[in-house]
């Protein structure tokens, strides 16, 4: 018969995704490990961005495949992240700062972050207001992730005004003209605020993102060394055109099984 500690450990066993149910428990464990290694004299600050910020703050999305974060902490945080990974049998990079290499990164996010929760009185976790999460998503707009649907979902759920998003883009990036996909970002924002049915718009973009992810997963399974950040969208576009042509010639092909969330 399991004791209480064993029962609790099993209850929070990592299931492959970071969800509303396990996110805080994992962060709680990270705070405990960081305090053991670091003490309480040098607090850490973690700003959740990307999918983790969406999962933490909204109801329309319930999971993410990793935790993107801006981390300001002593080197003990790296060991704490590793220890939590080992405890829950998670990838070693379950929390990472890879987003700092992408178009969505801006050093200004620190100035606009807001408190989320504090763990072990030493690890202060923060997130961003809705308009700033949307701005970061608009700076990326990857068609094979959930960037498009997250923008729609956040605006739908939070009710933020268009001006707030425009101001956030200006605060983080200096305006739409500085976004890598400025035309697509403007088009999406206009489409959202002109829509009479945001739920339908959200589902349509979400379906496209899931299909794009499936396509790229199939390509990557067949050609593991082919895809990279420079060519992925061109390859996706070519693959979609090829599938559309096949569909036109042969009819609607059978859909593959749904993969894990992008």
Domain extents in the chain:
4-128, 133-250
Can you tell me whether residue 255 is helix, strand or coil? Answer: coil
Adjacent-strand bridge partners of 124: 45, 118
Residue 242: both structure tokens together: 């090829």
- Return the residue matching tokens 């068609």: 143
User: CA-CA distances (angstroms) from residue 60 to 89, 103, 154, 158?
Assistant: 27, 25, 8, 11
Residue 146's nearest CA partner among 91, 104, 206 is 206
pLDDT value of residue 134: 98
pLDDT value of residue 245: 86
Which residue numbers in the chain have pLDDT < 70?
Answer: 1-13, 251-262
Environment class of 205 (CB within 10 Å of its CB; exposed 0-12, middle 13-18, buried 19+): buried
pLDDT value of residue 262: 55
Angstrom distance (rounded) from CA 156 to CA 130: 11
Question: In the 8-state DSSP scheme, what is residue 122?
Answer: T
pLDDT value of residue 27: 97
Residue 24: both structure tokens together: 């805080």
Residue 193: both structure tokens together: 């605020």
pLDDT value of residue 14: 73
Residue 214: both structure tokens together: 């499936």
Pairing relationship of beta strands 63-64 and 123-127 according to DSSP bridges:
unpaired
Q: Are 151 and 188 in contact (CB under 8 A)?
A: yes
Residue 54's nearest CA partner among 119, 140, 121 is 140
Residue 218: both structure tokens together: 């199939």
Residue 50's nearest CA partner among 65, 39, 29 is 65
Q: Are 100 and 70 in contact (CB under 8 A)?
A: yes
Residue 57's nearest CA partner among 197, 153, 124 is 153
């Amino acid at each position: 018969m399991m004791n209480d500690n064993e029962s609790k450990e099993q209850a929070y066993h990592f299931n492959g995704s970071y969800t509303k149910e396990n996110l805080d428990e994992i962060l709680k464990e990270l705070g405990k490990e960081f305090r053991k290694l670091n003490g309480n004299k040098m607090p850490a600050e973690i700003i959740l961005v990307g999918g983790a910020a969406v999962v933490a703050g909204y109801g329309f999305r319930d999971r993410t495949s990793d935790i993107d974060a801006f981390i300001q902490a002593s080197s003990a945080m790296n060991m704490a992240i590793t220890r939590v990974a080992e405890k829950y049998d998670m990838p070693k990079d379950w929390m990472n700062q890879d987003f700092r290499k992408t178009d969505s990164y801006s050093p200004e996010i620190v100035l606009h972050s807001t408190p989320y929760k504090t763990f072990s009185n030493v690890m202060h976790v923060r997130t961003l207001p809705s308009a700033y999460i949307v701005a970061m998503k608009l700076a990326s707009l990857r068609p094979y992730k959930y960037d498009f649907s997250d923008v729609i979902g956040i605006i739908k759920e939070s009710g933020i005004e268009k001006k707030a998003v425009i101001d956030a883009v200006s605060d983080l990036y200096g305006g739409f003209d500085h976004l890598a996909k400025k035309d697509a970002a403007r088009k999406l924002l206009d489409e959202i605020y002109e829509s009479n049915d945001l739920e339908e718009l959200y589902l349509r973009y979400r379906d496209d993102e899931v299909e794009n992810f499936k396509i790229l997963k199939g390509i990557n399974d067949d050609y593991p060394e082919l895809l990279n950040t420079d060519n992925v969208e061109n390859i996706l576009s070519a693959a979609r055109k090829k599938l559309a042509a096949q569909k036109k010639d042969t009819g609607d092909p059978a859909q593959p099984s749904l993969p894990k969330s992008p």
